[in-house]
Structure 1
Amino acid sequence: MGGIKMEELGKKIDKLTNQVTDLRIELWTTYTLFTWQWWVLLVACIIMLVLFFLFIKKERLLSSIAYLGIIYILNKNLDDVATAMDWYDYRMQLEPIIPTMLPANLFIIPIGLTLLYDRFKKWKSYLIALALVSAFISYVALPMMKTVDIYLEKSWNANWSFISLVLIAVISKTVIDKVKLKYNNSSDL
């Protein structure tokens, strides 16, 4: 009996998911694709990639990529939850299928924080730089994105963005630093 009800709910979810995807594609093709906001998102991604390849030190490349990966996973999951819970939404997207902000989740935030991680090895300087960058993203960039209709804030706010960015970055640095310490200690044997 439970299997039949579960199957019915699954079919309803599939139908609604397909309808949402169709609406996202319609919104994207009608109101987003090739607008100046879309071009800004594309250019931001390209700039962040160029900055990554220009400024990441080759001798720290592996740890920087690992750090970037952790930032991406944590930030993407937070963004997935926040979008699903309707805390905020993105009206302008680089692509139509993924409801979260791909340029921010894959390029801007992970690469920006990775550049900090690569540049500031000591915790004190790292935390100062992290606070400044997180404040800029939360209190300047997000309000600008709201003003130009890329980002729609609902029950989320700049303070939550600031706190989440700092926590994500601190967790990521802690994990990578501990792994590096363990690896360096074991390789000395």
Structure 2
Amino acid sequence: MEKERTIDLIDRNTAAIEALIRVKIDIWQERVLFTDLWWLGVGLSVVPWIVWYLVRKKSSTDRLFYAALFVAVVSLTLDVLGDQFGIWHYRFNVIPVLPTYLPWDLTLMPVTVLLLLQAKPSANPYAKAIFFALLASFVGEPLFDWLDIYHPKNWRYVYSVPIQFLIYLGAHAASRRSAFEPLA
């Protein structure tokens, strides 16, 4: 009996979420799609990767993609959690059904880290991590807030600094991996 009640509650909650997502898609189609801020998001999703592709060290492409994947997965996961817990939310999404701003998580964060990893590779990674954390937290976030794309409801930019610092250090460590064990 308790299991059926739980299932019913979960199913009703899911139906309510699905109804709200349909409303979100309608708003997006009518008011966001093809606006200047939507096109900005599309551009920010593609152009930084093109720039990186042109300036990358070709012999390090696989290793750097490994670091980029780390950054993207961590950024995306934390962004979804922040949105779902009501700490912040995004407007003018490139894709309406995703709660995160994909250009930030899948392009700007990873590409910025990749460019920093490539620039002066022997430089102190802690100094680079501090630079990245300050850049992302006190330039990137305020810029997207000013553009009304990002709305920090219960979040201050300074809270992001240690998170961004750790993300960079994790990517640095991932980029320094020299070998993997064979699968077989």
TM-score (norm 1): 0.87
Percent identity reads 20
Partner of 1:44: 44
Distance across 2 between alignment mates of 1:16 and 1:148: 30
1:170 aligns to 2:184 (yes or no): no
For the residue of structure 2 that corresponds to 1:4, the secondary structure is helix
Number of aligned pairs?
182
Partner of 1:11: 11
For the residue of structure 1 that corresponds to 2:151, the secondary structure is strand
Structure 1 residue 115: deviation in Å? 1.7
Structure 1 residue 142: deviation in Å? 1.6
1:67 aligns to 2:72 (yes or no): no
Q: Deviations over 1:131-177 (max 9, x none)?
A: 23332221122222212211111111111222211111112222442
- 4+ aligned runs moved over 3 Å, structure 1: none
Structure 1 residue 123: deviation in Å? 5.0
Distance across 2 between alignment mates of 1:19 and 1:34: 24
Consecutive unaligned residues of structure 1, counting only runs of 5 or more, are none
Partner of 2:21: 21
For the residue of structure 2 that corresponds to 1:89, the secondary structure is strand
Q: Which amino acid aligns with 1:106?
A: L
Distance across 1 between alignment mates of 2:145 and 2:62: 35
**Which of the pair is proportionally richer in helix?**
1
Q: Kindly indicate whether the alpha-carbon contact (under 8 Å) linking 2:66 and 2:174 is maintained by their aligned counterparts in 1.
A: no
Q: Kindly indicate whether the alpha-carbon contact (under 8 Å) linking 2:132 and 2:164 is maintained by their aligned counterparts in 1.
A: no
Q: Compare 135-144 and 69-78 and name the one that shifted more.
A: 135-144
